[in-house]
Structure 1
Amino acid sequence: MQHISVLSKRVNILISGVVLSTGLYGTLPSDKFDDGVTVRLAATQETSVQKYKEPETFSITNVVESDAHAKEVIMKALTRTDIKPRLDDEGGVYGNLFASQPHLVDVILKASKTFSIHPYFLTAVLMQESGNGTSYSLYERNNTSGMRCMSPDSLQAIKQVYPDYGEVGCVRTADHGEYATFSSIEDCIVYTSWLFRNVYANQGLLTVEEIGKVYAPVGDEGDPEGFNGEWTAGVKSKLIQMGVQNF
């Protein structure tokens, strides 16, 4: 039997006695910004490949029937170059890191298919959690999704599916608790997809609202800036940009 409980500064998921920690929205106060741009990527737009039509009711486990069309949509959303950069206290500029790594779209599609998670949803979470590719955590820890430190059991479970998966470290931040550090951005994308399947979908949490209440709970002590209150709306906004309208 699986239990979900919200504890201080993190969300803990207990599965058969194993505690996993999910990501929380945002990494630094400076991640919060208005990108000022809306990109409409209607799922019914004309393309050179088969058009993809969303099911009547959105679920994070919806299957995308056309990989070619999904790749086109995700590429446009993930690799945008019009994202407002984030500036750190020392004057460093953090632009959309995803824009320089288009191969990550294939990583998203493979991980989504492996764990039966909607690739548009996975993409929307990556964008939301990383400030559209500009977060310090993404740049410095390869952490795309605000992921807390991973349990050894979780790492072992992923390596059974991805034998070449890298090692995962753990760092403590001054204001937000512990976060995972990944060997690569690819590894964090895989973990994010695995988490949504094994912790959320398998618990019957299939909508953005249901997941947001656990993944980014409003009022959580690990979210002093209150970013979690924007998580559900932010993920939905990015899904709408990718053509999803059926929440």
Structure 2
Amino acid sequence: MTSPISSNFLLYNTIASMAKAMPELTQSDSNSSSIGSSTSPSTFFAMLMNAMMESIEENNSTASQTGAQVSLPTLTTPLTAPLTNSYNPAISIPPLNTKEVPTAATDTSDLKFKPTQFIKLDNTLEGKLSGTAAHFINAGKKYDLDPNLLSAIAIHETGNGSSRAAQDKNNVAGMMGKNGLRSYASVEDSIFDMARNLRQNYLNQGKDTIAKIGAKYAPVGAANDPTGLNNHWTNGVSNQYSKLT
């Protein structure tokens, strides 16, 4: 079995190669004298190389007698990939209620589903509501509600997609949960939840006009409305609804 190649062996070969490559001085150089020295550069270089090689051989001999091995320095600290930020707090989003809510026979309102001008609605919606016209229409079909009513409420509640609730929580209808405004996984979920709530708890309960819906949806003087915004809910939604129809 062969022993590992010593780093001194590599150094020895390097020095030997340098010595061989040292050009010999010409005869004229060897005959000439240098200032302050009687030894020529080539002779001095050769003496230096010999001294270095003798020192290396002496070190190798000592290491062999003591059983020590000369090894190259090794990297003792393992290389690791940069740490990533694993802190990713989850936002609590309650499950979406997607149950079917049929239209009550007592609902004789004019707020049931009806054809909608898609291009007009799509061009009206902005901010977080941009590109959601199809969701309003599909939610209106599922719960038999006028898509323009759903859109008018969302536009009024969010300032046409600019509110913090819409931006941070995907909440476009002012829907409340146990701890304040609800959070949704998407704006589409918020639209469908609003439609379900309106059909189940408003239209099917005889709240068949925007004014009647507003009296329950955004009651004046409510504890969660300290600035009195609910005073403008009915007129605000009615104005948006008129623009869309």
TM-score (normalised: structure 1): 0.53
Q: Distance in 2 between matches of 1:58 and 1:71?
A: 22
- Write the mapping of 1:61-80 to structure 2, written as runs, cut at 5 A: 61=112, 63-64=113-114, 66=115, 69-79=116-126
Q: Considering fraction of residues, name the structure with more helix.
A: 2
In the TM superposition, what is the alpha-carbon distance from 1:70 to its structure 2 partner? Answer: 2.4
Q: Distance in 2 between matches of 1:122 and 1:239?
A: 9
Q: Report the counterpart of residue 190 of structure 1 in structure 2.
A: 192
Q: Report the counterpart of residue 211 of structure 2 in structure 1.
A: 209
Q: Distance in 2 between matches of 1:143 and 1:115?
A: 19
Q: Report the counterpart of residue 237 of structure 1 in structure 2.
A: 239
In the TM superposition, what is the alpha-carbon distance from 1:60 to its structure 2 partner? Answer: 2.3
> Where does the alignment leave 5 or more consecutive residues of structure 2 unmatched?
1-107
Q: Answer whether contact 1:77 1:241 (CA < 8 A) is retained.
A: no
Q: Answer whether contact 1:111 1:189 (CA < 8 A) is retained.
A: yes
Q: Report the counterpart of residue 124 of structure 1 in structure 2.
A: 152
Q: Which structure has the higher relative contact order (CA within 8 Å, separation 6+)?
A: 1
Q: Distance in 1 between matches of 2:196 and 2:109?
A: 19
- Write the mapping of 1:72-111 to structure 2, written as runs, cut at 5 A: 72-79=119-126, 96-99=127-130, 102=131, 104-111=132-139
The answer to whether structure 1 residue 59 and structure 2 residue 96 are counterparts is no
Moved segments of 4+, more than 4 Å: none
In the TM superposition, what is the alpha-carbon distance from 1:182 to its structure 2 partner? Answer: 0.6
- SS class of match (1:144): coil
Q: Deviations over 1:117-150 (max 9, x none)?
A: 110000000101111110001010010111101x
- Write the mapping of 1:11-22 to structure 2, written as runs, cut at 5 A: none
Q: Report the counterpart of residue 147 of structure 1 in structure 2.
A: 175
Q: Distance in 2 between matches of 1:209 and 1:73?
A: 25
Q: Answer whether contact 1:137 1:144 (CA < 8 A) is retained.
A: yes
Q: Considering fraction of residues, name the structure with more strand.
A: 1
In the TM superposition, what is the alpha-carbon distance from 1:73 to its structure 2 partner? Answer: 2.5
Q: Distance in 1 between matches of 2:237 and 2:227?
A: 18
> Where does the alignment leave 5 or more consecutive residues of structure 1 unmatched?
1-56, 80-95, 150-169, 173-177
Q: Report the counterpart of residue 85 of structure 1 in structure 2.
A: none
In the TM superposition, what is the alpha-carbon distance from 1:191 to its structure 2 partner? Answer: 0.0
Q: Answer whether contact 1:97 1:133 (CA < 8 A) is retained.
A: yes
Q: Distance in 2 between matches of 1:186 and 1:73?
A: 19
Q: Distance in 2 between matches of 1:205 and 1:58?
A: 9
- Larger-gyration structure (1/2): 2
Identity of aligned residues (%): 30
Question: Cα 1:148–1:200, aligned 2, differ >3 Å: closer, same or farther?
Answer: same
- SS class of match (1:231): helix
Q: Distance in 2 between matches of 1:210 and 1:204?
A: 8
Q: Distance in 2 between matches of 1:231 and 1:59?
A: 19
In the TM superposition, what is the alpha-carbon distance from 1:58 to its structure 2 partner? Answer: 6.7
The answer to whether structure 1 residue 225 and structure 2 residue 237 are counterparts is no
The answer to whether structure 1 residue 115 and structure 2 residue 117 are counterparts is no
- SS class of match (1:239): helix
